[in-house]
Each structure stands twice: as C-alpha cells, then as structure tokens.
Amino acid sequence: MNKDSLYQKSYINRLGEFSKLSNEAFRSFTNFDQKALSQGKLSSKLKELIAVAVAHVTGCPYCIEAHVNQVKKQEATKEEMAEAIMVATALKAGSALAHGVNALNAYDGNNNDDELYKSNYINRLSEFSSLQKETFSSFISFDQNAMKAGKLSVKEKELIAIAIAHVTGCPYCIEIHVKAAKKAQVTKEEMAEAIMVATALKAGSALAHGVNALNAYDEN
C-alpha cells in the first residue's frame, strides 16, 4: 500500500473485514443496502441513477465507482448519468442558497422566536436577486435547466432531487421537491423508495470510508 495515497480502488477490498470486526451490524447493513437498491416501485436503473447522484453529494469515490459500474449494467447511458449528476449539483448548491434565508434572518435580527425553520422563510430567497443579481440569476437558470425533462423525465429528476434533499438535510428543498414530485405523479411509495436509496448511500459512504480507517489504524 502506498502510504501517501488515501484513495485507491483496491482499498475497498478491505470492506469485508468489518464482517469479522462488527459482524451483526455489518450483515444488517448489507441486507438493508441490498433491499434498498433492489427493484420495487422504482426500477433498478433509476435506483442506481439516484445512487450515483447521492454518491456525488456524499463525496465517496468508492461509491461513485461501484454505482457507476452498476448503472452501466442497468444500461443507463452516459447522458442519463450526467443529467442525474446535474440534478445532484443543483440540489447541493440549492441547499446552500436556500439556507441563505436563515442568514438573512440572522443578519437582520428578524428571528425573534425560537423557530429556525418556517415554510414562509423561503419567501426571502428572492432578496438575493438584488444582493447578488447576476450570480443569483445564473443559479436560477442552471437549476431550472437541471430539473427540466431531458434524457430523464421530470418525475425521475424530482425523485433524484428528493433523495438529494434528504442527504443535504435541507427542509426547504424537501418541501419544494416533494410538492413538485406530487405534481409529476410520484406516489408516496416511490418517494419512500428514493429516500431509502439515499439513506443506504449516506450510510454506505460512512462504511466505505471505513477502509481508510482500517488503513490508518494498521499503519506502523
């Protein structure tokens, strides 16, 4: 092992060591992960596209490698994969921007009660159009383009968006995209499956990075 390298594909081969180090929990996770990614109301292909998108938000190179390989097996095109990644990019950036309404409240001293999140706080988002007009306008244009139908349908993109919103932990994004998903005829069961994929990938990112922990622990 190159001690100066933190990421190599081969490191993921150490993942199975957790079956000995923490057998019951490891087996429970792998069982959950398999069920979350298996075909249900959503196709395996769409679940793998969601997984690829989420992996770009968690920043897990092992997860990206694994799920890109899986999405290719499901015959997703490079263009479909790229669209899923763009949705993830828009949602990750959008989460930062959406939380800007909290920054405005804090800066202006408007949040006199103990509530940090109210649905109507998002109405302040348009203030950024005067504070950062060109940048804000550019983001809105990107966000709209990322979410419109292309190789992936609006319904598929909204399911990806819901999954990403749960990984970024943005309550505004969750509310906005769940409402948009309902308009796109997403069922509650489909939404739940997308959230389960997000849950599996967020947990899986932590576990995958466990191989780095094993490497670090075993260093002389």
**In the chain, what are the domain boundaries?**
21-218
Q: What is the mean pLDDT of residues 203-219?
A: 94
Query: In the CATH hierarchy, which top-level class contains the domain 21-218?
Result: mainly alpha
pLDDT, tens digit (0-9, with 9 covering 90-100), for 32-65 = 999 999 999 999 999 999 999 999 999 999 999 9
Flag whether pLDDT at 120 surpasses 90: no
SS3 state at 94: helix
Contact 204, 62 (CB under 8 A): no
pLDDT value of position 212: 93
**Mean of per-residue pLDDT scores for the chain:** 94
Segment of 7-21, 67-81, 117-131 carrying the highest mean pLDDT: 67-81
Q: What is the mean pLDDT of residues 106-121?
A: 79
pLDDT value of position 1: 56
pLDDT value of position 113: 67
Flag whether pLDDT at 112 surpasses 80: no
pLDDT value of position 7: 76
Contact 197, 54 (CB under 8 A): yes
Contact 131, 124 (CB under 8 A): no
111: confidence class by pLDDT, cuts 50, 70, 90: low
Contact 186, 155 (CB under 8 A): yes
> Can you say whether the dihedral through the CA atoms of 196, 201, 206, 210 is positive or negative?
positive
- Burial status of residue 40 (CB atoms within 10 A of its CB: 0-12, 13-18, 19 or more): middle
80: confidence class by pLDDT, cuts 50, 70, 90: very high
2: confidence class by pLDDT, cuts 50, 70, 90: low
115: confidence class by pLDDT, cuts 50, 70, 90: confident
pLDDT value of position 170: 95
pLDDT value of position 8: 82
128: confidence class by pLDDT, cuts 50, 70, 90: very high
